[in-house]
Amino acid sequence: MIVALTGQKGGVGKSTLAICIAAELLARKHRVLLVDADPQGTVRTWGEVGAENGRALPTLVAMGATMHRADQLPAVAASYDHVIIDCPPRHGDVQRSALMVSDLALLPCGPSAADAWALGASIDLVTEARTLRSDLDARIVITRKQGHTALGRTARDELMKSGVEVMRTEVGYRVAFAEALGAGEGVGTYAPRDAAADEIRALVAELLLWEKRHAAQEAPAPAAKAGRRR
C-alpha cells in the first residue's frame, strides 16, 4: 500500500498524519517507508529527534518531483509493506509525482470553509492524475476537528458533497499530536490512552481494510476448472 498525504492547502495536518500513520504501522510490525517530499522537512526533523531519543522509526527518505521514476520510489518500495508519502502544499509537480506511484491519495481537510474551498484544487489534481492512473483511489480525512463547534458538526455533510468518499475516522485537534512529534514518536506510543491515539489506530485499521479490499479487486479472477469428461 502506497499512500500519499496530499493537498494544496497547508496547515491541515498532512505531516502529522503521515508520521502517525507510519509509526502506527511500524508498531504493528509492518515494514514501513516514510517519504519526506516536503521541503519544509518536518518528517526528517521528527526522525532526527526520534533517533536522538532512541526511538524505533520507520525508514525515512527524502524525495521530490522525480520520485515516480522507475529508478527511484518504485525501486525502493518493493522492500516494504507500506509506503507513506508526506507531500508539500502547493508544489503541484511533487504532488503529481507522488500520485503517479500511489495506490491511495489521502486528502486531509480541516473543518473550516477555507479548508473546504482549497480541497477543490486538490481534487482537481487527483482527477488529472487519474487520466494516467485510472486505478488511483482517493479519500478525504477530516482533521483538526473540534466537535463542540458548528463547523465541526457539519464538516462531514459538507465534504460529502465533493464527490470523494470521506473516511469514517475523524481526527481531532489535540495537543497530544504536537507533543508526540516533538518527542520524535508517534502518538500511539507517546500517549497510548489519549483520544488522539485511538483516532490514529482507527484510521490505520480503516486504511488496512481499504488495502485488503483494493487487493481483492486487483487480483485476477481464478481460472474456471475444467469439467469432468463423461
Where in the chain are the domains?
2-218
Q: Which range, of 53-62, 95-104, 144-153, 180-189, averages the lowest pLDDT? A: 144-153
64-94 per-position pLDDT tens digit: 999 999 999 999 999 999 999 999 987 789 9
Per-position DSSP letters for 109-172, written without gaps between them: E-SSHHHHHHHHHHHHHHHHHHTT-TT-EEEEEE-SB-TTSHHHHHHHHHHGGGSS-B-S---B
Q: Which range, of 9-23, 92-106, 143-157, averages the lowest pLDDT? A: 143-157
What is the chain's mean pLDDT, rounded?
Answer: 89
% of residues, the chain, pLDDT over 70: 90
| Strands 2-5 and 59-62, bridge-based pairing | unpaired
Taking the domain 2-218, which CATH number applies? 3.40.50.300
Q: What is the pTM assigned to this prediction?
A: 0.90
pLDDT given for residue 228 in this prediction: 43
**pLDDT band for position 11 (cuts 50, 70, 90):** confident
Backbone angles phi, psi at 179, to 5 degrees: -65, -40
Q: Is residue 230 scored above 60 in pLDDT?
A: no
Contact 49, 1 (CB under 8 A): no
**pLDDT band for position 179 (cuts 50, 70, 90):** very high
pLDDT given for residue 212 in this prediction: 92
119-152 per-position pLDDT tens digit: 888 888 899 999 999 899 999 999 988 766 555 5
